[in-house]
Amino acid sequence: MLKKTILLCVWLLLNSLSCLAQINATSMETDIPLHYVLRENKDKQASAPLLILLHGHGSHEHDLFSWHSQIPETWIVVSVRAPYKLQQGSYRWYEVMMVQNKITINTEEEVKSRKLILQLLDEIKKKYQVNSRKIIVAGFSQGANMAATVSLTSPEKIAGFAVFSGRFVNEIKPYISTSDSLHSLKCFLAHGNKDQMLPISYADENRQALQRLGISVTYAEDAVGHSITSKQLEAFVKWLNQW
């Protein structure tokens, strides 16, 4: 139990000190509550698949946006900044606490963040030529959890989601959709078997929980800690190319 407490503290500390390297975006948008950076698809007149990226606790919208050079040019890529500011260049989607040696989240903040992401999705669809049948939400760590909760609660808006080094958030169980759209979701799940912040057991629990919901899961495991490897990213892009 003490080990889990220590792991959570280390996780939060490392995420708060995450790299703040800036990547030039095609555009910066500030016309809705969530800030984001966006790369348009090569053919701006064509209906394009959409990839939404959600960073981890303590990071920012430019973090995962570095992926855009590896994502096919036919895709629109949007990387979003979480709404809760920790310090300059450091944001979170919701507060995390340890309650009786169990990772617990601030559900009110998670719900607010989830609604803002869905609002952003609607705005992007109005503003750009988006193929509504090919919308993917992907994230790392806390952003991975948000990608899952957005998809599981609103599967009619999402085709698939990707979870990098995340976990299944039990607090959202009451909000999981019961519509047939849930079973159409596809998930890409990647985790490092040397992850000390969120041990590999979280990936196993996550995969089992998603499969019990009838969701197809593509799984990628690598000998790495709490990070994303080029091998995982290559597997993810291969998964994207199937859409």
Examine the pLDDT at 33 and tell me if it is beyond 90.
no
pLDDT score at 87: 93
For 114-169, the pLDDT digits (tens) are 999 999 999 999 999 999 999 999 999 999 999 999 999 999 999 999 999 999 99
Contact between residue 149 and residue 157 where contact means Cβ atoms under 8 Å apart: no
Mean pLDDT value across the chain: 88
In angstroms, rounded to a whole number, what is the distance separating the alpha carbons of residues 138 and 236?
10
Counting other chains too, the contacts that 2-5 makes at CB distance below 8 Å and 24 or more residues apart are 2/101, 4/98, 4/101, 4/102, 4/103, 5/98, 5/101
pLDDT band at 90 (very low <50, low <70, confident <90, very high): very high
Helix axes 142-153, 107-127, angle to 10 degrees: 70
Q: What percent of the chain has pLDDT over 90?
A: 80
* Predicted model pTM: 0.86
pLDDT score at 182: 96
Examine the pLDDT at 24 and tell me if it is beyond 60.
no
- Compute the C-alpha angle 216/73/240, nearest 5°: 10
Examine the pLDDT at 10 and tell me if it is beyond 70.
no
For 214-236, the pLDDT digits (tens) are 999 999 999 999 999 999 999 99
pLDDT band at 110 (very low <50, low <70, confident <90, very high): very high
Examine the pLDDT at 25 and tell me if it is beyond 90.
no
pLDDT score at 16: 38
Examine the pLDDT at 173 and tell me if it is beyond 60.
yes
Domains and CATH numbers, the chain: 2-240 (3.40.50.1820)
pLDDT score at 45: 81
